[in-house]
Amino acid sequence: MDHLILKYLRKELSLEERHQLNKWLENDADRAEMLRAFEMYWQNSQYDFSTDKVEILDQIKNRIGNNPAQTSPAIRSSFARLIKYAAIIILVSSLSIIGYTTFENEPLVETKTIRHIEKTSLPGQNITLRLPDGSSVKLNAGSKLIVPEVFEEGTREVELIGEAFFDVESDPSRPFLIKMQGMKVEVLGTSFNIRAYEGDSNHVVAVRTGKVKVQSLQTGNAIHLEPQELSVLSIGDGSIKKEDIKDEDLIFGWTDKIIAFKDRQVGEVISEIERWYGVEIKVEKTLSKHKLYTAHHENPTIEEVLRSLSFVYEFEFVKKDENVIVIR
């Protein structure tokens, strides 16, 4: 938790990390008091954190003992009672903040805690959500969306892991921001799809209506998309490119229960089937990696999809139980 507190003090928390920190604070009332104490010290300190850890701890103790007028009795008590946590969070973490010597001297204000809601669509599920601003989101299987209980003034920010189709309410005064691994997407009012599963080598944003700005967090480069355009971001190097949408079903089809493949390797297809139906597929036969699979299915059963796949790759399959299928 120390690394999250450090990022909080630096104002570098992602939405998911903020969600984790809020859950930690909710479990113990003393933790919120401790965090306020750390924030007061952070904002008023002019110490060089590249000095020795022991010296830093002495400075913290001296500050507590020599400046009682600057802190309330409750905060002084918190500092004294939790000095060992200060040692852990600030001193042990000093390895990660060596060279960080510039602090913002802003007036101390009490931080407003906003609850974040975590919505998860399990493998085999699709769920539709209504966000606080009236926007709607459809989560594909195996996906997660983190959204604040209320949007703060001037911003609408969510975090996505997986795939989702967004239909965003227009609000020029509050851009809608979606953050995910390696990328962020900014819109005003539009409908679009994002595919950003963990482990994917590329993340794809495709626009159905309106305009979208997509930015690579690694390179800082950004492109603007219009209807029938998509971007492909490489997780490896952060590069980003724009393409035309050639087949809408490959991008948006899942929202209408259409599962479509175009020149995909069998391993990719099997992974997609596992996520789509919420099953585990055990492959006990070597399947050709040179054959590419193309197919289009409308609201199919898993047996229909596997039967089509078996014609191409020449295998048999058997249901071991409700959640396990064996290819042999």
- Tens of pLDDT, residue by residue, the chain (328 residues): 666 676 666 655 665 666 667 666 666 666 666 666 666 655 555 444 444 445 555 655 565 555 555 545 554 554 554 454 554 445 444 434 433 443 344 444 444 566 888 999 999 999 999 999 999 999 999 999 999 888 888 889 999 999 999 999 998 889 999 999 899 999 988 999 999 999 899 999 999 999 999 999 999 999 999 999 999 999 999 999 999 999 999 999 999 999 999 999 999 999 999 999 999 999 999 999 899 999 999 999 999 999 999 999 999 999 998 899 999 9
The CATH code of the domain at 116-249 is 2.60.120.1440
Length of the chain: 328
What pLDDT score was predicted for residue 26? 64
What are the Cα distances from residue 75, in Å, to 64, 113, 262, 310?
A: 10, 19, 61, 68
Closest CA to 232 of 245, 31, 220: 245
What's the rounded Cα separation, in Å, for the pair 151 and 120? 19
pTM to 2 decimal places: 0.69
Q: Which residues contact 270 (CB under 8 A, 6 or more apart)?
A: 281, 283, 309, 327
Can you list the positions of beta strands (E) in 28-125?
A: 116-121
Tell me the β-bridge partners of 207.
192
CA 231 to chain centre: 18
What's the rounded Cα separation, in Å, for the pair 143 and 156? 20
Listed by start position, the domains of the chain span 2-96, 116-249, 257-327
Which class is 257-327 in CATH?
alpha beta
Asked whether the beta carbons of 235 and 215 are under 8 A apart, the reply is no
- Measure the CA dihedral 204/205/207/212, to 10°: -150
What pLDDT score was predicted for residue 39? 61
Asked whether the beta carbons of 64 and 80 are under 8 A apart, the reply is yes
Closest CA to 101 of 46, 53, 40, 52: 46
Single-letter code of the amino acid located at 24: W
What pLDDT score was predicted for residue 58? 60
What pLDDT score was predicted for residue 25? 67
What's the rounded Cα separation, in Å, for the pair 141 and 125? 5
Residue with tokens 């199919």: 300
